[in-house]
């Protein structure tokens, strides 16, 4: 698959698309954007058509989306529990935006999640275990549950 920057550019001409990730089968791209005023998660077809907003939480940020390898779920980071903080947690949702569920509640940053190719592990950055305030580490965690146990 060759990159066609025109497609993604036309999908979000006003919202500064960020953190794009492609579904394993290549059928969708997920990205973060401020096109509707808040930093939210969207999906789009590779040709730039069918742009759909997947999150809606005014005043909070949703960023760093990534598809689960099964193509049925997206995980992203958000500060929706406390938008005034830097406390980002991880939220999986269905590809239709349903079922957001906070799967971390650590009081520090747990952001930029990405699934392993088999979907059994999640790698993410976190301020946990830092030796200094704000120090970021890369952590790997097993993704608990069977397919479908999280949205």
- Helix (H, G, I), strand (E, B), or coil: what is residue 7? helix
d(CA 42, CA 32): 6
Classify burial at 3, counting beta carbons within 10 Å of its beta carbon; exposed 0-12, middle 13-18, buried 19 or more.
exposed
Question: For 13-27, what is each residue's pLDDT tens digit?
Answer: 556 778 899 999 999
Domain coordinates of the chain in residue numbers?
5-142
Task: Provide the pLDDT confidence category of residue 145 given band limits of 50, 70 and 90.
Answer: low
- How much is the average pLDDT of 106-116? 86
Mean pLDDT, rounded, of the chain? 83
The residue count of the chain comes to 151
Task: Provide the pLDDT confidence category of residue 149 given band limits of 50, 70 and 90.
Answer: very low
Q: Does domain 5-142 have CATH number 2.120.10.30?
A: yes
Name the token pair of 149.
């146990």
């Amino acid at each position: 698959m060759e990159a066609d920057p025109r497609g993604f550019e036309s999908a979000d001409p006003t919202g500064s698309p960020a953190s794009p990730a492609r579904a394993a089968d290549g059928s969708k791209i997920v990205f973060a954007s401020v096109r509707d005023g808040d930093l939210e998660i969207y999906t789009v077809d590779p040709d730039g058509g069918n742009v759909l907003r997947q999150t809606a939480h005014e005043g909070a940020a949703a960023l760093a989306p990534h598809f689960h390898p099964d193509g049925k779920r997206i995980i992203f980071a958000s500060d929706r529990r406390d938008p005034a903080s830097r406390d980002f947690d991880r939220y999986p949702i269905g590809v239709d935006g349903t079922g957001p569920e906070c799967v971390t509640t650590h009081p520090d940053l747990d952001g930029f999640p990405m699934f392993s190719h088999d979907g059994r592990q999640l790698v993410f950055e976190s301020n946990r275990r830092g030796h200094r305030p704000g120090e970021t580490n890369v952590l790997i965690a097993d993704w608990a549950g069977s397919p479908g146990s999280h949205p």
